[in-house]
């Protein structure tokens, strides 16, 4: 059996009175691509943000391999591990945002080297060679001295992917990576992710691109109302959904 | 020509020269007050801004009160309070040092609010991206937030710097002899408007330099949006 990179059990998260996650359990195996689909407000992004320490869970348990991130009984308050452990966990994952969030005051190259140098403590030379290799991979070698404002959205997102990959994460999360892009630019991002999938990069992709979820991922989770409604083989879930809710959500996709 | 100038100015050129030398010497006092105020109030303002945004409520309320008093009362009254009320002179402060204390506390309050606007103007996504990449809080602040903040706050900072140039004249209320004080003293002694005019030109030149510095800095940071 494949090694589990991330396991989450019974995660609950509320914002005030609003219960966003109502007991979510999922795991991510080494080398697999997991897509999370579902309507807006279903908690997909919150799940990703909880997994990447941008939000704190109320209860449940999240662990990366044998590193425990947080644990807590329902109704109580989840206890987070000590800061050094959390910092170790941060090195396990990368996150690609919907809005790229590149650092505007750094060149493309420095966007990719800064964390390598400051956080991973690599030498400048090593960081730059890693960055150049990744830029080549995402097809932006000639842009290393450009600033983010000089790039198209698709190019910015490819830099953001390179920035995340430079830290050698065990798992890479994508939070609707193409939602801020037009269809033409969407294609270039999906191509990059597809390429990573072929290299067996472990990835969790929150997406509205159903065809992409079906063709690229190994497993799909359909979420609605803070719960996992359906989970399984992407072809099964997308072409042949069992639950009524999934069918209703996918009806629009199947029409076109 | 000389005769024309002397009749135009209402005094002989030798006197004008003497006044000019005296005023240039005194302009150093004004410059001193200006630079020392900035030296201390710029970093202090940043600390105040961070305190103002602290989640620790008592600190936040303390800072709000400080901001209200400093921005809500005239700097001239504050100067009088520090010199004649707190009698800082008794604790070994000179008039100049007392003026610097009052100016620093007053300007830090204004700077703090400018910093706060700047900090809040840096998108949350920037901090999140830094967090996910594993940057520490101080790395995030100094490497990601602060450089972006500087660009955002340059225009309002330029305003404050220019106001400060002119505000230095308030220090005369506690008998710091800076260029305005000297100008009005000479105006009475010589019964002439020339010293006041010279002081005006001095402020104008100083602010032209300040303004030029800021537009250069803005251009320098123009390479990104």
| Residue B34 near residue B205 (C-beta atoms within 8 A) | no
CB pairs under 8 A between A and B: 61
CA-based nearest residue in chain A for residue B148: A105
| Residue B128 near residue A97 (C-beta atoms within 8 A) | yes
Which pLDDT value is given to residue A1?
A: 54
DSSP B187: H
* Mean pLDDT of all residues belonging to chain B: 94
Residues of A in contact with B148 (CB under 8 A): 104-105
Average pLDDT per consecutive 10 residues, chain A (256 residues; last block may be shorter): 86 93 94 93 94 95 94 87 94 95 96 96 95 94 94 94 96 94 88 93 94 92 94 91 90 74
Residues of B in contact with A87 (CB under 8 A): 134
CA angle A83, A87, A72 (to 5 degrees): 55
Number of H helices, E strands in chain A: 9, 11
The reply to whether A148 touches chain B by the CB within 8 Å rule is yes
Residue (of B105, B89, B107, B85) closest to B97 by Cα position: B89
Residue B113 C-alpha, separation from nearest chain A C-alpha, in angstroms: 23
Q: How many residues does chain A have?
A: 256
Which pLDDT value is given to residue A3?
A: 82
Residue (of A129, A13, A17) closest to A78 by Cα position: A13
Dist CA B143 CA B136 (whole Å): 10
Residue A256 C-alpha, separation from nearest chain B C-alpha, in angstroms: 34
The 10 Å Cβ neighbour count of residue A244 is 9
B77 φ/ψ angles, rounded to the nearest 5 degrees: -65, -35
| Residue B122 near residue B145 (C-beta atoms within 8 A) | yes
- Across the interface, whether the CB atoms of A115 and B134 are under 8 A apart is answered yes
Structure tokens at B86: 């707190």
Dist CA B73 CA B43 (whole Å): 22
Identify the bridge partners of residue A212 per DSSP, sorted by sequence position. none
DSSP three-state, residue A208: coil
More confident residue, B189 or B113: B113
Dist CA A233 CA A218 (whole Å): 7
| Residue B134 near residue A90 (C-beta atoms within 8 A) | yes
Residue A199 C-alpha, separation from nearest chain B C-alpha, in angstroms: 22
Structure tokens at A168: 């050698």
Q: What is the CA radius of gyration of chain A?
A: 18
| Residue A234 near residue A214 (C-beta atoms within 8 A) | yes
Residue A119 C-alpha, separation from nearest chain B C-alpha, in angstroms: 6
The reply to whether A56 touches chain B by the CB within 8 Å rule is no
Q: Which of B126, B151, B224 sits opposite A149 (nearest CB)?
A: B224
Which pLDDT value is given to residue B208?
A: 97
- Across the interface, whether the CB atoms of B224 and A93 are under 8 A apart is answered no
Quick: pLDDT tens for B184-221: 999 998 888 889 999 999 999 999 999 999 999 999 99
Q: Which of A91, A103, A164 sits opposite B126 (nearest CB)?
A: A103
Dist CA A68 CA A80 (whole Å): 8
| A178: Cβ contacts below 8 Å, ≥ 6 apart | A157, A185, A186, A189, A190, A207, A208, A209
- Across the interface, whether the CB atoms of A95 and B123 are under 8 A apart is answered no
Which pLDDT value is given to residue B16?
A: 85
Which pLDDT value is given to residue A9?
A: 94
Residues of A in contact with B130 (CB under 8 A): 103
- Across the interface, whether the CB atoms of B125 and A94 are under 8 A apart is answered no
Q: Which whole number is the average pLDDT over B152-164?
A: 96
The reply to whether A179 touches chain B by the CB within 8 Å rule is no
Dist CA A174 CA A45 (whole Å): 9
| B174: Cβ contacts below 8 Å, ≥ 6 apart | B79, B80, B82, B83, B84, B95, B98, B99
Residue (of A116, A102, A165) closest to A137 by Cα position: A165
Structure tokens at A10: 């019974």
- Across the interface, whether the CB atoms of B132 and A147 are under 8 A apart is answered no
ipTM score of complex: 0.92
Which pLDDT value is given to residue A256?
A: 56
CA-based nearest residue in chain B for residue A51: B132
Q: Which of B134, B144, B151 sits opposite A103 (nearest CB)?
A: B144
Quick: pLDDT tens for B45-96: 999 999 999 999 999 999 999 999 999 999 999 999 999 999 998 999 999 9
Which pLDDT value is given to residue B5?
A: 77
Structure tokens at B210: 């300040």
Which CA distances in Å does B111 have to B34, B67, B158?
15, 10, 11
- Across the interface, whether the CB atoms of A119 and B147 are under 8 A apart is answered no
More confident residue, B88 or B7: B88
- Across the interface, whether the CB atoms of B133 and A53 are under 8 A apart is answered no
Which pLDDT value is given to residue B192?
A: 87
- The 3 state secondary structure assigned to A91-114 is CCEEEECCCCCCCCCCCHHHHHHH
Structure tokens at B196: 């006041």
Q: Which whole number is the average pLDDT over B140-156?
A: 94
DSSP A15: E
Dist CA A102 CA B144 (whole Å): 10
């Amino acid at each position: 059996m494949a090694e589990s990179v991330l396991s989450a059990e019974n995660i609950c998260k509320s914002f005030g009175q609003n219960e966003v996650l109502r007991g979510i359990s999922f795991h991510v195996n080494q080398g697999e691509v997991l897509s999370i689909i579902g309507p807006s407000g279903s908690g997909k992004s919150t799940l990703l943000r909880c997994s990447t320490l941008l939000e704190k869970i109320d209860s449940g348990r999240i662990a990366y391999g044998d590193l425990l991130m947080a644990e807590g009984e329902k109704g109580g308050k989840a206890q987070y591990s000590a800061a050094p452990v959390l910092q170790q966990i941060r090195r396990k994952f990368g996150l690609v945002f919907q809005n790229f969030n590149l650092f505007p005051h750094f060149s493309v190259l420095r966007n990719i080297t800064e964390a390598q140098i400051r956080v991973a403590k690599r030498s400048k030379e090593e960081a730059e060679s890693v960055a150049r290799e990744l830029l080549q991979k995402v097809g932006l070698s000639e842009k290393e001295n450009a600033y983010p404002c000089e790039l198209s959205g698709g190019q910015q997102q490819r830099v953001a992917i390179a920035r995340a990959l430079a830290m050698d994460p065990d798992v890479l999360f994508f939070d609707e990576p193409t939602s801020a892009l037009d269809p033409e630019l969407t294609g270039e991002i999906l191509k990059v992710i597809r390429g990573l999938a072929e290299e067996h990069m472990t990835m969790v992709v929150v997406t509205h691109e159903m065809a992409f979820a079906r063709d690229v991922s190994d497993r799909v989770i359909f979420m609605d109302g803070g719960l996992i409604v359906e989970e399984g083989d992407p072809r099964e879930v997308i072409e042949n959904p069992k639950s009524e809710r999934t069918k209703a959500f996918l009806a629009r996709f199947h029409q076109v | 020509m000389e005769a024309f100038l002397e009749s135009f100015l209402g005094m002989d050129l030798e006197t004008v020269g003497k006044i000019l030398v005296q005023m240039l010497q005194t302009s150093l006092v004004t410059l001193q007050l200006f630079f020392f105020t900035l030296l201390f109030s710029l970093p202090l303002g940043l600390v105040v801004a961070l305190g103002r945004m602290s989640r620790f409520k008592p600190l936040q309320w303390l800072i709000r009160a400080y901001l209200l008093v400093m921005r809500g009362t005239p700097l001239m009254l504050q100067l009088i309070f520090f010199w004649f009320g707190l009698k800082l002179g008794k604790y070994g402060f000179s008039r100049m040092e007392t003026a610097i204390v009052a100016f620093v506390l007053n300007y830090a309050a204004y700077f703090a609010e400018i910093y706060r606007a700047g900090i809040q103007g840096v998108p949350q996504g920037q901090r999140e991206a830094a967090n996910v990449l594993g940057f520490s809080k101080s790395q995030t602040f100094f490497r990601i937030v602060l450089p972006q903040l500087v660009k955002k706050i340059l225009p309002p900072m330029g305003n404050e710097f220019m106001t400060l140039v002119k505000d230095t004249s308030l220090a005369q209320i506690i008998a710091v002899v800076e260029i305005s004080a000297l100008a009005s003293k000479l105006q009475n002694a010589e019964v002439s408007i020339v010293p006041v005019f010279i002081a005006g030109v001095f402020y104008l030149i100083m602010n032209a330099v300040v303004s030029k510095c800021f537009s250069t800095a803005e251009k320098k940071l123009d390479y990104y949006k």
